[in-house]
Structure 1
Amino acid sequence: MKLITLTTDYGEKDPFAGAVKGAIYSELEDVRIVDISHSVSPFHLMEAAYIIQNAYQNFPKGSIHVIGVDSELTPETNHIAVKLDGHYFICANNGIISLLTKDIVPEEKVEINIHDRTLTNFTVLDVFVKTACHIARGGTLGVIGKNIDNIRQLTGIAPVINTARNQISGNVIYIDNYGNVVSNITKKLFDEVGKGRSFKLEARGADITKIYKQYSDAINFDIEKSKREEEGKKLAVFNSGGYIELAIYKSNPSTVGSAASLFGLNYRDTVMINFTDK
């Protein structure tokens, strides 16, 4: 049974996500549909890329990923289907594929050309659904599109290392449902530049000198619960995607606050790490 995932900025209130699922099942009953997320901020390609990047690799090879973010067909933005890392991605040629990975070259990429066979202006419902179902049936990309040499490139936000190699200047790239703040500084980069040196991480209201492997590592469970610093403790972790993330232990954005609200951090804000030899 083929697997089709959906990532959109449709939200949960409107009928769009449900309509897309219904259209897929109408085309192909023997398929499994998985929602990665429908809560991407409207037209936010960097946020969508972060979510998909940290989800798609957990699906089996051959999975088909429909991306309904900034997906309208325009004179400047066509629609593409790309085979990348053994997976299929169907989306607008708006640069999101370039944000997913810079290390893996697409195995195949086509410009979708079946728009004359669709009925509405709801791109994902018509064109993307038909393309996904065609691939799920075992169809080749060449049947629904023409080969293209290049796809649109977006550079995104990259960390900057100073010439003395004792400072990394990064940025906030994602804020999750808990209000945790994800930077674009990876553990790999941190280790390469830091080389085990002491450091201080600064990001507005955050001032941190230790990064944990998991949230609970920040809590000393040897201390009696009533006396230990627990809920509300500020911390940094290397998250499951390998990025440095700022968090408040057991935060709740709607009650006690979160890293985003308590540190005053938003998308693109600076996250600075300074290393010292002392």
Structure 2
Amino acid sequence: MALVTFLSDFGDKDYYVPAVKAKMLAVNPQLNIIDISHNIDTFDIAHAAFVLRSTFRDFPKGTVHLVSLNTTGSITHGYIGVKLEEHIFVGPNNGLLSLLADHEPGIMVQFADIHLKDSTFPTKDILAPIAAKVASGAAIHDFGGPLKNFRKLMSRHPKATREHIIGHVLRVDRYGNLITNVNKEVFDKLNPGKFSIEFGRESVNRLHKGYDQVEPGDCFAFFNSLDLLEIGINHGHGAELLGLKYDSVVYVTFHP
């Protein structure tokens, strides 16, 4: 199955998304193109990386993921293809792809000049044809050579001791809920049975199973489908009401 996912900050009000899809379908009309999201906050690499990292493993191995964010920006060091956990990613070399896992991709290719062209729309003119051809059976090695300068960005990791986990907010979703980088596996290993979770001006000392486990207006905390600690206010915009945002600190304290 020739499957391509597409992630960008293009939104849905302009011609950009259909133009890119049309370019890919011109290469192979049988392509199955799946939109992950085109409502990534503009130029927000952290948002794009979070969404893609949270979803790409749910697609079949061999899927090609077309990533478009800051493709014309000064932080983009060319265009690349990488193979990570049997998935192929095609996009700009701006650090976004380095945030998808805690280990480097097994294969990294810098696209050769012969496949590049001067363009104000490189996602359509450069990346889309390559993504379509790779999804149709070509190898990413066909489009370039070894990447010597893989641009890397550092993601925050929680700090954990026997007494504490200090985490940070990774994402505020559209409901105002706050997804943190506190992982369930680490929490379970350290948890002696009693704990408190402090965020903003609030604190909870138990985990819930979902949003509706507390009354409207009350705070909740549970491990979500990503096994990450999620906090917020039922039927309320937690980020605004708690004064929290991306990168805000969340404290977990374990009590003997």
Separation in 2, partners of 1:121, 1:146: 24
User: Is the contact made by 2:75 and 2:94 (CA closer than 8 Å) also made in structure 1?
Assistant: no
**Cα gap change, 1:202/1:115 in structure 2, threshold over 3 Å: closer, same or farther?**
farther
**Structure 2 residue 250 is matched with structure 1 residue 271:** yes
Which deviates the most, 59-68 or 119-128? Answer: 119-128
Gaps of 5+ in 1: 220-228, 252-256
Query: 2:220 pairs with 231, 235, 248, which one?
Result: 235
Change (3 A) 1:265 1:144: same
Q: Tell me if structure 2 keeps the 8 A contact 1:172–1:184.
A: yes
**C-alpha displacement of 1:75:** 8.0
- What is the one-letter code of the residue matched to 1:272? Y
Paired position in structure 2 for 1:224: none
Structure 1 counterpart SS, 2:154: coil
1:112-156 deviation line (CA, Å, top 9, x unaligned): 125655463211111110110110221111111111255222111
Q: 2:189 aligns with which of 192, 195, 198?
A: 192
Q: Distance in 2 between matches of 1:260 and 1:154?
A: 25
Matched, 1:177 2:174: yes
Determine the C-alpha separation between the residues in 2 that align with 1:35 and 1:267: 25
Q: In structure 1, how many angstroms separate the alpha carbons of the residues matched to 2:202 and 2:37?
A: 29
- Scaled by the length of structure 1, the TM-score of the pair is 0.85
Q: Does 1:2 align with 2:8?
A: no
Q: Give yes or no for contact 1:114–1:127 (8 Å, CA) kept in 2.
A: no
Contact kept? 1:114, 1:144, Cα under 8 Å: no
Alignment identity in percent? 31
RMSD: 2.0
Q: Report the equivalent of 2:97.
A: 97
- Deviation per CA, 1:35-77: give whole Å up to 9, x if none: 1111111222221111111111111111110111122265861
1:79–1:92 contact (8 Å) kept in structure 2: yes
Residues 2, 30 of structure 2: 8 Å contact kept:
yes
Deviation at 1:233, TM superposition (A): 2.9
Residue in 1 aligned with 2:79?
A: 79
Q: Distance in 1 between matches of 2:11 and 2:189?
A: 39
Aligned residues: 256
Q: Does 1:143 align with 2:142?
A: yes
- The gaps in structure 2 that reach 5 residues or longer are none
- The corresponding residue for 1:152 is 151
TM-score, length of structure 2 as denominator length:
0.92
